[in-house]
Amino acid sequence: MPFNPNPNRILHNHKIKCIDYLLLSILENPGQSQRFHTRRLHLWQHGTEDHHSGGTNIAYFNNRKYYRDILFTDVSPQTVKYYSYYGDQLKSKHSQIHLTPVGFDRANKLRIKLDLPEISWDSAGHHLSCKMPEPVVQ
């Protein structure tokens, strides 16, 4: 399949953007790694496996101005030390990407547009949607 520079693709007879496909992937597979979602995006875009092991399209996960921590966030514990230009820092061993409430609403609106059933916040597997037990008052 030849490369198509147009960032819009067809899904269920509707044109959607790559970021929308990522949001759908994160909504349907919460807690998976960035690499998992970029591999799915590349397969959907080009019809072939990503020979960069999911490194293609990683810019969506690095862009804090428009996407990261606005539409989705990484909730994995940052326990691995590494050295960078800014000194010693911590990173996670394996990312766990979840949608934020804004990203969740955008993904559900897209599901409605595609004639797919809406997913409720409680069943989405988000770490903030878990019901915490009521505190015991003595």
What pLDDT does residue 128 have? 58
Specify the pTM.
Answer: 0.74
Burial 16-48 (b: 16+ CB within 10 A, else e): bebbbbbbbbbbeebebbbbbbbbbbbebbeee
What pLDDT does residue 125 have? 63
The ranges of the chain with pLDDT < 70 are 1-13, 53-55, 123-138
What pLDDT does residue 17 have? 84
What pLDDT does residue 133 have? 42
DSSP 102: H
Domains for the chain: give ranges and CATH numbers.
9-123 (1.10.10)
What pLDDT does residue 126 have? 59
